[in-house]
Amino acid sequence: MSILLFTLVILLGAFMAGLVGSLTGLGGGVIIIPLLTLVLGVDIHYAIGASIVSVIATSSGSAAAYVKEGITNIRIGMFLEIATTISAIFGAVVAVYINPNYISVIFGGILLFSAAMMLRKKVDHSDTDTSGKLANYFKLNGSYPTATGEQPYAVHNVAGGFLMMAVAGVASGLLGIGSGALKVLAMDNIMRIPFKVSTTTSNFMMGVTAAASAVVYLHRGQIDPGIAMPVCLGVLIGARAGSKILIKSKPEKLKMLFAGVVTFLALQMIYNGIKG
Amino acid sequence: MELQQKHRAKDRDMQLIMGNLLRIGVLLSMTVVFVGGVIYLIGFGQQKADYSEFIMDDAGFFSLASIWAGILDLNGKAIIQLGILLLIFTPISRVILAVISFFIERDYLYVLIGLMILSIILFSLSNKLAG
């Protein structure tokens, strides 16, 4: 395949990945990596390097809008970034010592988990009981704008959330993804932050987390300009398009369909990893 | 209460500046990547693509010096890498902005947290970790 054709194919695939990633909330990374490795035969190390670049682009792009709306809790984000940056660098460093087949299997596992998280019925656990000691010390409790005025909320189990974020960071650094599913689990279920705040804050954190591990990948030569260029342009444009569509169509049926696709990709990744 | 409102107003300012910074960073870096991509495809579009095996430090352009030298040669790959570096720097500059803003607010705890994040990334930048 010529470089020109190869670039155009990736551009199209990355556009689709960005679109689907944005519609489902999964993010572009979890979809572009199987596409590059399974369909185009790209080595998973290059796929991961290109994907992490696209994660920085999409998360920074959408964070720009969310931050202005005042929903993102910058203190929660920065506090948890300590956990995610350290662990993301750790993940990126050990990635090269792990057999690519194992990485493929771990990736498939995270993909399955993300699909399950996507279909799960969301329950808002948030309340206004601001008695948590750590939450008060780090000034994490906050409020966000709603149609009926500012809605205050309290943050719980800060230590547990911090630990879960460290796990999300390792996954992000190791696999080159945003690990939104794990981040939202930490914030929705453990720290009991309202959805709107947790999704926007998780997105806000992704850029810095991905930047920390991208630096390691860049030094190692895993970010190849020939792949990273079409991947980040395509995913970003796709994600933009997705954020425009979301309002008009029915997300529930789409989610079912995408969960099926993602499950299929996950099983393929696991199968390829085991087969070696 | 008044103090809290003042804090909130300053937080609003920071949010607006931060939002603009992120947007400009993404736009600028993606423009550079696009320009580099066009140059790269004009020069190498007809060659064969092969990424089937990861070779460490194969293509060059992974250090600032080599990227700079490549840009002076108008090498498409080097220009793409410059765009990617600008993109990586976008969220990092967002942290720097937050540190300054928390300093003005006299929220020293968060100045410290911001500096911690920056030093973690700086440590990663020092190129001792790539293995």
Domain of residue A69 covers 3-275
Instruction: Provide the number of CB pairs (under 8 Å) joining chain A to chain B.
Output: 210
The alpha-carbon gap from B14 to the nearest alpha carbon of chain A, in Å, equals 9
Mean pLDDT of chain B: 86
Which tokens sit at A139? 């000034």
- Indicate yes or no: CB of B98 within 8 angstroms of CB of A85: no
- Indicate yes or no: CB of A68 within 8 angstroms of CB of B81: no
Taking only the tens of pLDDT, chain A with its 276 residues reads 899 999 999 999 999 999 888 877 778 888 899 989 999 999 999 999 999 999 999 999 888 888 888 889 999 999 999 999 999 999 999 998 999 899 999 999 999 998 898 888 777 888 888 888 999 999 999 999 888 888 999 999 999 999 999 999 999 999 999 998 899 889 999 999 998 899 899 999 999 999 999 999 998 889 999 999 999 999 999 998 888 875 556 667 777 888 888 899 999 999 999 997
| Predicted local distance difference test score (pLDDT) of residue B130 | 57
Gap between the Cα atoms of A211 and A216, Å rounded:
9
- The answer, yes or no, to whether residue B2 has pLDDT greater than 60, is no
Comparison of pLDDT for A209 and B62, the residue scoring more: A209
**What's the pLDDT band for B1 if we cut at 50, 70, 90?**
very low
Q: For the residues B55-84, what does the mean pLDDT come to?
A: 83
Amino acid in position A220:
R
Which residues of chain A are within 8 Å of residue B36 when distances are taken between CB atoms? Answer: 225, 229
Q: How many domains does chain A have?
A: 1
Q: Is B54 helix (H, G, I), strand (E, B) or coil?
A: coil
Which are the contacts of B61, defined by CB distance < 8 A and separation ≥ 6?
A225, B67, B70, B75, B77, B78, B81
Closest CB to A215 among B59, B116, B124: B124
**Could you write out the DSSP letters of every residue in B2-48?**
HHHHHHHHHHHHHHHHHHHHHHHHHHHHHHHHHHHHHHHHHHHTTSB
Structural domain boundaries of chain B? 2-42+63-125
CA-based nearest residue in chain B for residue A86: B120
Gap between the Cα atoms of A187 and A61, Å rounded:
21
Gap between the Cα atoms of A25 and B123, Å rounded:
32
| Predicted local distance difference test score (pLDDT) of residue A62 | 87
Which residues of chain B are within 8 Å of residue A68 when distances are taken between CB atoms? Answer: 15-16, 19
- Indicate yes or no: CB of A227 within 8 angstroms of CB of B51: yes
**Of B130, B113, B21, the residue nearest A218 (C-alpha):** B130
Tell me the HSE value of B58 on the side-chain side, using a 13 A CA sphere.
13
Which residues of chain A are within 8 Å of residue B30 when distances are taken between CB atoms? Answer: 57, 232-233, 236
Ramachandran bin of A263, using left for φ above 0, alpha for ψ from -120 to 50, beta for the remaining angles: alpha
- Indicate yes or no: CB of A219 within 8 angstroms of CB of B16: no
CA-based nearest residue in chain B for residue A213: B124
Which residues of chain A are within 8 Å of residue B111 when distances are taken between CB atoms? Answer: none
Optimal mutation site among A136, A224, A227, interface B, most CBs of chain B within 10 A: A224
Amino acid in position A66:
Y
Which of A136-145, A197-206, B62-71, B90-99 has the least mean pLDDT?
A: B62-71
Which are the contacts of A60, defined by CB distance < 8 A and separation ≥ 6?
A207, B22, B25, B26, B87, B90, B91, B94
Closest CB to A70 among B12, B53, B131: B12
CA distances from B107 to A47, A130, A172, B64 (A): 40, 20, 30, 35
- Indicate yes or no: CB of B41 within 8 angstroms of CB of A236: no
**Phi and psi dihedrals of B129, rounded to 5?**
-110, -15
- The answer, yes or no, to whether residue B46 has pLDDT greater than 90, is no
The alpha-carbon gap from B73 to the nearest alpha carbon of chain A, in Å, equals 16
Gap between the Cα atoms of B25 and A199, Å rounded:
22
- Indicate yes or no: CB of A208 within 8 angstroms of CB of B41: no
**Phi and psi dihedrals of A2, rounded to 5?**
-75, 160
The alpha-carbon gap from A99 to the nearest alpha carbon of chain B, in Å, equals 12
- Could you give the dihedral angle defined by the CA atoms of residues A269, A270, A271 and A275, in that order, rounded to the nearest 10 degrees? 100
